[in-house]
Structure 1
Amino acid sequence: MKKNKLRMLPEDTYDDMDDNIGMVVPILTECDIDDDFSDGLEKLGSEIPLLPLRNMVLFPGVAMPVMVGRPKSLRLIKEAVQKKKLIAVVCQKEKDTEEPEQEDLFNIGVIAEVIRILEMPDGTTTAILQGKRRFLLNEVTATEPYLKARITQMTETMPGKSDREFEALISTIKDLTIKMLHAISDPPRDLVFSIRNNQNVIYLINFSCCNILTSASEKQELLSIGDLKDRAYRLLFILNREYQLLELKASIQLKTQEDINKQQKEYFLQQQMKAIQEELGGNINDLEIKELREKAKKKKWPAAVAETFEKELSKLERLHPQSPDYSMQTQYVQTIINLPWEEYSKDNFNLTHAQKVLDHDHYGLEKVKERIIEHLAVLKLKNDLRAPIICLYGPPGVGKTSLGKSIAKALNRKYVRVSLGGLHDEAEIRGHRRTYIGAMPGRIIQNIQKAGTSNPVFVLDEIDKVSNDFKGDPSSALLEVLDPEQNNAFHDNYLDIDYDLSKVMFIATANDLNTIAQPLLDRMELIEVNGYILEEKVEIATHHLVPKQIEAHGISRKQISIPRKTLQAIVESYTRESGVRELDKKIAKIMRKVARKLATDESSFTPVTIKPADLVDYLGQVEYTRDKYQGNDYAGVVTGLAWTTVGGEILFVESSLSKGKGSKLTITGNLGDVMKESAILALEYVHSHADQFGINEELFENWNVHIHVPEGAIPKDGPSAGVTMVTSLVSSFTQRKVNKNLAMTGEITLRGKVLPVGGIKEKILAAKRAGITNLILCKDNKKDIDDINPDYLSGLTFHYVDDITEVIRLALSDEKVDHPLF
């Protein structure tokens, strides 16, 4: 077998070696392709000297320099060289252990030959060791004069010569090892050549294992793998991981270097620019300032604004572009010049056109439309752009915000909208002073600038949801904006120049007027936008919602049809709201299901007509049910009318008598304080007028009274059930039946007078839907009936009363129930 040849690197290569680091300075070894490095092992005795290494792992076939410092280790290697003995080399588990024992050492090491001893210039000693074969440490037999141990030699398991997978594995390891060496430093050419051309696979694998930049414990793990192919796979995994880590470090270093270079370059250019500007004696942005002056000449603004602009522009000229104030001054000057000073869009005074636009976009809302047309008429006659400040209030989803768009379209004005919901900083309205970093105008001036005209339709959405905190009260800042006597000189803190807002048409929207400050309410013209009745919702769905959803879902009008009866069923059974948002969502849900059918099989799709009976398939089970008239078979059950935020409803007031000692009144049904007082008032009135109604006085002493309003989980309040409760009590005490298909509403007094109540329109339509034909109302409520479309009132008979006795005469018949109490 050929003796291995070592080609040593120059001695100064070893000057910085330290066995505590684990860095290996490569030593080239020339070996045969079949060399297993086992020469000399046959002479090995039963005991062998043991050299512990700190943080280093030697592999068979690899030559490695080791700096020796411990006295025992120095004696061992010198004796091994003199007597030409082989030694056992093993890595210790903790590098700081000075006198290692058997438990401090790994149990697998390498039998090695000491090739050469080098005395370094700094007085240290370095030994060149070459690994031979792995061993298993059985027992440490001696510690003096150096460690000795009994070992068992371990052989390597080699793959077959025809294993193509192993060949590819060795080739990959070669390439990756060379890449690693290049990534760490510039390796000697001889080393790269040796790795590429060496055909001894044991040497190649072990050389790479010895030279990877990883921990000693991981190298020891590689040494413990006896199968050479398995060791090669584990080695390749570690090489890939470490090479990726090296690439990542290099990338980070390169990016950092590029950032530093970029900063240095920018600093150099800025210094050059500064020098050029000083040489020219002027500002490099003169061209931009010249353009601003040319633009200013075309502006039709007040003389005071022109004077302020010129003063601020001159200040900008004197500032150096690198000055911190330069960008702030530039922004301020551009804000002044971009505002539409005295620029107005021309209003369209065609009242017929405006009416068509409003009717096309919104069904109903007659009062709002009438107010807009009146405003247009005044503008046309007076030729004055001063606009009113309108506040539209009502429940959600009735079209308050979208009305602003329609008004702007009808007037041919620009449209801007600001949502004030959750606004709590006064500076959002008035702007920030320019002394603050990041100062900007308030939302009013910003949106006027965006509109490009000084007379847009400006919607202040959700004005009732403005809040306040330590930053100020925005609602107080809005006082100046919404006061027609003040807003012709609105002062924005950032602009610091008065701006005329008197030509802007402000439209505020709100759900609840109670949360708006009283001074703010006083400055606005309040217009209530009521909830839609059933018939109006059906019209809105027919003309607006259904066409909109058909287009939004990519369906043609020929492919789907939703009749009015179906829309009415959706409104009654699947929505409970004042507006039409939920109705819009339900229609969209139907469209999605139809779109799915169409997209699944377009060729066999047939036009769909949605019938009321089909709604369960499209929208699921019925979500809401309305109360229906239940007849007059029982005494003491009277139908009343109630107003809710989602429209009108009918309710039943029930009263019953039970024997007991002394009069006792029980009231149930989750009633509010006002409604409870109405019940007490009704009983006292009936008691005091018992003779008039033909009631025996003894009944009040021997019978207890219970008044109940069904649907007890729903809170109910208000005085409008007063006449209903009186009628119910009289019916119970007299056991007379209530006339069929009759409902009533009205407040009562202790004198028996009937007072008017609100929500008449919604109540009337609820009664009609429930099948009621006769209604009893206060005479003062007749004006509310006159405002309702006559088409909605067909089939209803109204009885107007002043006194409760008239109610009893109209409501109760002389017929008594089949099983009277007494």
Structure 2
Amino acid sequence: MFFKKRIEPAEETSRHQTAPSSPSPLDLLRGRIREAHLPHLVMEAVTGELEKLEKTEPAVAEYSVGFNYIELVLSLPWNVSSQCTFDLERAQRVLDTRHYGLAQVKQRILEFLAAKTLCSKARQSILIVDDEEIARANMEHVLKKEGYACHCASHGAEALEIMAREDIDLIITDLKMERMDGIELLQHVNRTSPEIPVIMVTGFATVSSAVDALKKGAAHYLGKPVNLDELRKTVKEVLEKKLFVQMGKGPILCFTGPPGTGKTSVGKAIAEALQRQFIRISLAGLRDEAELRGHRRTYVGALPGRVITELKRAGVNNPVLMLDEIDKIGQDFRGDPASVLLEVLDPEQNTHFTDHYLELPFDLSRVMFIATANDVSTLPRPLLDRMECIEFSGYTEKEKLHIAQQFILPRQLKLAGLSKFSVAFTSEALSRVINDYTRESGLRNLERQISDICRKIAMMCLKSTSGQEEPGQVDAATVSRLLGPRKFYREAAEAVPQVGVATGMVWAETGGEIISVETARMPGSGTLLLTGSLGEVLRESAQTVLSFLRSKSEAFGIAADFYQHSDLHVHFPSGAIPKDGPSAGVTIFAALLSLLTGRPARRDVAMTGEMTLTGRILPVNGIREKVLAAKRAGVRVVLLPLANREEVEALEGDVVAGVRVLLVANAAELLEPLFAPPGSEEEKTPASGVGMFQTVSLDLAPQRNPVDPENPDRG
């Protein structure tokens, strides 16, 4: 007879406890920490945080904060880098495929990338220091087979002599040697050449000696007899780390120029050419520095900064990171984000970038930073000094036409569902869109207008009776019918000469612009009125021009007392737009001279330059953008400072095509082209299109009084 044994509650509890249980979250976390191969400092911090969690109840709020912190540290790419190779021909092909034009920009980028990666192909040199000849020979034989150049020394003093005449990338030294041991050599290298890593090798390897060597700056520690496979692996790791640091150092690129000129897309093309991941962080309107550096963990809901977050998302520590719209950063009581960028963009500091949430130094030296800005004048000077600016100037009409045909039009036809229809835009139609419906240095408005045409054509296709009617060819007349009346006029080409009105060229955040300076004369007491939201520099330029005219009134044929009973008013239209800068001095002079002499100034002659009190014309910046703006407005003659001759001669043929560029050195040389009837400049302009009027009827050289024969010292 069988009896079933009754299990008591205490016995059943004991049976459940002895059964195998699933690992706890902390056990899983501990296993991930062991497998993560974290840096020594990071491993200590994570281990200490884990010990705190083991003593904390899971219901306490600090438990989840600590747990999430360890999760973040383990998810960061401390030692994960993407294998990126640089092929100059491939990079050139990628940039040419993605962008048309920008020849100087692409050339400068290729030079920058070539300089960054050339050091990776150089043969690296290793100095082996050991008092045992057999050990030196074995290590030299193994490392030479790996492609390294090797130098050998029997003690530290001899090693210093070799370092004085050779370029050394890595030192492998024994610990115990005569005359100068390994620790003394290590200390000397740390003082004189801290960028050279040192690997310590000794037959008396102990934990204390290894710790002492690492504390004094050694990159690694190996025991004797040396495992040759371990030696190869260690040397490769140390030199690769040093190489990444060297490639990370150098100027940070800053793409500056008008909107829509391709700054962001060029950054993507660079990442593609280098086979790296691309990260974009928009800084427009950023006011809180915690957005970049993170919040401290003591705050509720604290998070790491954008830089660490994006690196975690990318999963590698060497992406191409674009800081977009860096000139739009704000500043208020929450801090100054631009100051955080001083550390991020400085190669000497970003090797130990510390996020407030992470509280551990993260090496950003492998990240390739690229910044973009429309106007770098708003950036703090220390931040600007850490970057190398590459200017993106506006596109010519020919470049816009090619880009529209090759890139914009196929993309917009596909988005409008017209890729299967035989829709063709003539060159005249695209030129009509460029000239009559857009007025910009970039391409964004051009793409909007082409997109508008494509949508209207798509609607026409749907409204047709069969629904399959072919749209056919789009010509200039079709563009006018679909887009309506033109939005922009070539004001300089269509305006008639006026007394007291002159055309000038200025540089703005959106590229080159054309302005009209208007002047008026009225009874008064010699007051100069300036309107148009002008800055202090522009006001001083107007005062300088007026003083110059008063001092040379007789030479210009102006009444000497013209200012005593008259008020002069100088106005810059579009008064809601702030204006400043010295380059409008020449235009103010031309408008006032036209007003005071009663001679109408040609509106199709545009000028730029800073004028001094003696009538000299000084050089200005933004020549290419200003010439392109003059062409868009229909200007026929452009007057530029003679001091800008080299910049003018470097302009491409497309930029100066259709305009005559004349170089002037002083105020007298402005008169003939400014007041000459249209068409009279062809005879005086050289065939190259760039020249200077040599015959000037007005002599503005300093005048000397006639010499008195009775008193030769007078005058």
Residues in 1 aligned to 2:43 and 2:506: alpha-carbon distance in whole angstroms: 62
- Deviation at residue 451 of structure 1 after TM alignment: 0.6
Q: Secondary structure at the match of 1:286?
A: coil
Which one-letter code corresponds to 1:625 in the other structure? Answer: Y
Alignment correspondent of 1:476 = 339
Deviations 1:768-788 (A, max 9, x none): 345544332211122332332
Residues in 1 aligned to 2:642 and 2:455: alpha-carbon distance in whole angstroms: 50
Q: Secondary structure at the match of 1:752?
A: coil
Alignment of 1:587-598 (within 5 A): 587-598=450-461
Alignment correspondent of 1:373 = 110
* Structure 2 alignment gaps of length 5 or more: 1-8, 121-242, 679-715
Contact 1:395–1:645 (8 Å) recurs in 2: yes
Q: Secondary structure at the match of 1:628?
A: helix
Task: Specify which of 671, 676, 698 is matched with residue 808 of structure 1.
Answer: 671
**Cα 1:470–1:644, aligned 2, differ >3 Å: closer, same or farther?**
closer
Contact 2:423–2:473 (8 Å) recurs in 1: yes
* Pairing 1:799–2:652 present: no
* Pairing 1:561–2:438 present: no
* Structure 1 alignment gaps of length 5 or more: 1-271, 816-822
**Cα 1:426–1:655, aligned 2, differ >3 Å: closer, same or farther?**
closer
Alignment of 1:732-743 (within 5 A): 734=597, 742-743=605-606
Task: Specify which of 312, 332, 357 is matched with residue 69 of structure 2.
Answer: 332
- Deviation at residue 412 of structure 1 after TM alignment: 0.6
**Cα 1:728–1:281, aligned 2, differ >3 Å: closer, same or farther?**
same
Q: Secondary structure at the match of 2:661?
A: strand
Alignment correspondent of 1:341 = 78
Contact 2:375–2:509 (8 Å) recurs in 1: no
Task: Specify which of 404, 409, 423 is matched with residue 546 of structure 1.
Answer: 409
Q: Secondary structure at the match of 2:255?
A: strand
Contact 1:396–1:511 (8 Å) recurs in 2: yes
**Cα 1:313–1:677, aligned 2, differ >3 Å: closer, same or farther?**
closer
- Deviation at residue 698 of structure 1 after TM alignment: 6.7
Which one-letter code corresponds to 1:347 in the other structure? Answer: C
Residues in 2 aligned to 1:429 and 1:358: alpha-carbon distance in whole angstroms: 30
Deviations 1:61-103 (A, max 9, x none): xxxxxxxxxxxxxxxxxxxxxxxxxxxxxxxxxxxxxxxxxxx
Residues in 2 aligned to 1:439 and 1:698: alpha-carbon distance in whole angstroms: 72
- Deviation at residue 459 of structure 1 after TM alignment: 1.8
Contact 1:778–1:800 (8 Å) recurs in 2: yes
Alignment of 1:35-434 (within 5 A): 280=17, 286=23, 292=29, 295-296=32-33, 298-313=35-50, 315-316=52-53, 324-383=61-120, 384-385=243-244, 386-387=247-248, 388-434=251-297
Instruction: Report which stretch shifted further, 633-642 or 341-350.
Output: 633-642
Which one-letter code corresponds to 1:466 in the other structure? Answer: I
Residues in 1 aligned to 2:97 and 2:411: alpha-carbon distance in whole angstroms: 13
**Cα 1:738–1:496, aligned 2, differ >3 Å: closer, same or farther?**
closer
Which one-letter code corresponds to 1:790 in the other structure? Answer: G
- Deviation at residue 453 of structure 1 after TM alignment: 0.6
Contact 1:723–1:745 (8 Å) recurs in 2: yes
Residues in 1 aligned to 2:309 and 2:675: alpha-carbon distance in whole angstroms: 66
Residues in 1 aligned to 2:352 and 2:15: alpha-carbon distance in whole angstroms: 43
**Cα 1:598–1:308, aligned 2, differ >3 Å: closer, same or farther?**
same
Alignment correspondent of 1:619 = 483
- The normalised TM-score by structure 2 is 0.66
**Cα 1:703–1:503, aligned 2, differ >3 Å: closer, same or farther?**
closer
**Cα 1:528–1:456, aligned 2, differ >3 Å: closer, same or farther?**
same
Alignment correspondent of 1:45 = none
Alignment correspondent of 1:464 = 327
Contact 1:666–1:706 (8 Å) recurs in 2: yes
Which one-letter code corresponds to 1:767 in the other structure? Answer: A
Contact 1:657–1:706 (8 Å) recurs in 2: yes
Deviations 1:403-439 (A, max 9, x none): 3322211111011222333434333323333344433
**Cα 1:400–1:698, aligned 2, differ >3 Å: closer, same or farther?**
closer
Contact 1:283–1:317 (8 Å) recurs in 2: no
**Cα 1:665–1:318, aligned 2, differ >3 Å: closer, same or farther?**
closer
Aligned CA RMSD, in angstroms, stands at 3.8
Residues in 1 aligned to 2:560 and 2:333: alpha-carbon distance in whole angstroms: 65
**Cα 1:331–1:797, aligned 2, differ >3 Å: closer, same or farther?**
same
Instruction: Report which stretch shifted further, 380-389 or 463-472.
Output: 463-472
Which one-letter code corresponds to 2:622 in the other structure? Answer: G
Residues in 2 aligned to 1:593 and 1:563: alpha-carbon distance in whole angstroms: 17
Task: Specify which of 298, 304, 310 is matched with residue 447 of structure 1.
Answer: 310
Q: Secondary structure at the match of 1:629?
A: helix
Alignment of 1:515-534 (within 5 A): 515-534=378-397
Residues in 2 aligned to 1:634 and 1:467: alpha-carbon distance in whole angstroms: 44
Contact 1:743–1:767 (8 Å) recurs in 2: yes
Residues in 2 aligned to 1:600 and 1:651: alpha-carbon distance in whole angstroms: 45
Contact 1:392–1:509 (8 Å) recurs in 2: yes
Which one-letter code corresponds to 1:334 in the other structure? Answer: E
Deviations 1:689-738 (A, max 9, x none): 23333455476667776656667777655433333443444455555676
* Pairing 1:628–2:492 present: yes
Contact 2:490–2:634 (8 Å) recurs in 1: no
Q: Secondary structure at the match of 2:301?
A: coil
* Pairing 1:510–2:373 present: yes
Contact 1:656–1:732 (8 Å) recurs in 2: yes
**Cα 1:719–1:503, aligned 2, differ >3 Å: closer, same or farther?**
same
Deviations 1:122-163 (A, max 9, x none): xxxxxxxxxxxxxxxxxxxxxxxxxxxxxxxxxxxxxxxxxx
Alignment correspondent of 2:435 = 572
Residues in 1 aligned to 2:596 and 2:51: alpha-carbon distance in whole angstroms: 92
Which one-letter code corresponds to 2:490 in the other structure? Answer: R
Contact 1:737–1:814 (8 Å) recurs in 2: no
Which one-letter code corresponds to 2:473 in the other structure? Answer: T
Which one-letter code corresponds to 2:487 in the other structure? Answer: E
Contact 1:559–1:606 (8 Å) recurs in 2: yes
The count of residues paired between Structure 1 and Structure 2 equals 541
- Deviation at residue 767 of structure 1 after TM alignment: 3.1
- The normalised TM-score by structure 1 is 0.58
- Deviation at residue 623 of structure 1 after TM alignment: 2.4
Contact 1:576–1:646 (8 Å) recurs in 2: no
- Deviation at residue 303 of structure 1 after TM alignment: 3.1
Q: Secondary structure at the match of 1:337?
A: helix
Contact 1:491–1:498 (8 Å) recurs in 2: yes
Residues in 2 aligned to 1:378 and 1:528: alpha-carbon distance in whole angstroms: 19
**Cα 1:321–1:283, aligned 2, differ >3 Å: closer, same or farther?**
farther
- Deviation at residue 741 of structure 1 after TM alignment: 5.5
Contact 2:594–2:601 (8 Å) recurs in 1: yes
Residues in 1 aligned to 2:283 and 2:499: alpha-carbon distance in whole angstroms: 54
Residues in 1 aligned to 2:275 and 2:611: alpha-carbon distance in whole angstroms: 51
Residues in 2 aligned to 1:282 and 1:756: alpha-carbon distance in whole angstroms: 87
Contact 1:577–1:645 (8 Å) recurs in 2: no
Q: Secondary structure at the match of 1:555?
A: coil
**Cα 1:645–1:437, aligned 2, differ >3 Å: closer, same or farther?**
closer
